[in-house]
Amino acid sequence: MQLKDKVAIITGAGIGRACCLLFAAEGAKVVAVDLDQASLDSVSTDVQRTGGAILAIQADVSRAADVERIVSATCDAFSTVHILFNNAGIVTHGKIHQTAEADWDRAMTGNVKSMYLMSRAIVPIFLKQGRGVILNTSSATALRSVVDRAAYSATKGAVLALTKSMASDYVRDGIRVNCLCPGTIDTPSLRGRLAAFTDPEEARKQFVARQPMGRLGNAEEVAEAALFLVSDNAKFVTGTAFSVDGGFAV
């Protein structure tokens, strides 16, 4: 029970789903946030089936009003927050000359502004109680370039820099800030993107081929890394980029 009596907000229900299940199993009261109500209903059912506590909130974390509603509902239900996992995000494809301005703005809003808004709303709570943990999802593409991911990689590089900046700003306030850098993870989001290819199976083979371990990662493996970083087992860890990528960025 590494997270006994902790309250954890987890945004995004892809990798976030596995994190909700694991964090709840480790004793946390979980607040799951996503745009998709069906995904929220599914994870809520699974957490409750195992006796865990969960509050599901359908919201857009890139909108300030929604973020205020998330924090208010969390405090109403559980009185406070101990862990914020900024995991929600989107993947955009293309080189710079192929990236429309609207797609660039959508990537920056979904992947960076959302973390700014959520962190801005939660940090005052952490400062008041003298402790707290923030975990941001960056990407292996922030550490090693891949083709056709210009906007996406730019946002994930920004997340990495934001993480380090926040870690420095709050290290003396009892607040730890780290980021995860996942490689290619087999999630519903990835499967949806693969389905858009003319030959989804060939596309999947190409994704696997670029992984040094010869396979895709799974959400449960990322969840285990997230658990370590938000738990007291990592209480001397802040400002780090923790790779879960099967050696992709080595």
CA distance linking residue 99 with residue 150, whole number of Å = 8
As a whole number of angstroms, the distance between CA 120 and CA 184 comes to 29
CB 183 within 8 A of CB 207: no
Contact 82, 74 (CB under 8 A): no
Catalytic residues, by residue number, are 152
Q: How far apart are CA 46 and CA 211, in angstroms?
A: 31
Q: Which two tokens stand for residue 184?
A: 């290619």
Contact between residue 116 and residue 67 where contact means Cβ atoms under 8 Å apart: no
Q: Is 79 helix (H, G, I), strand (E, B) or coil?
A: coil
Return d(Cα 204, Cα 181) in angstroms, integer: 20
Q: Are 188 and 14 in contact (CB under 8 A)?
A: yes
Alpha carbons within 13 A on the beta-carbon side of 215: 3
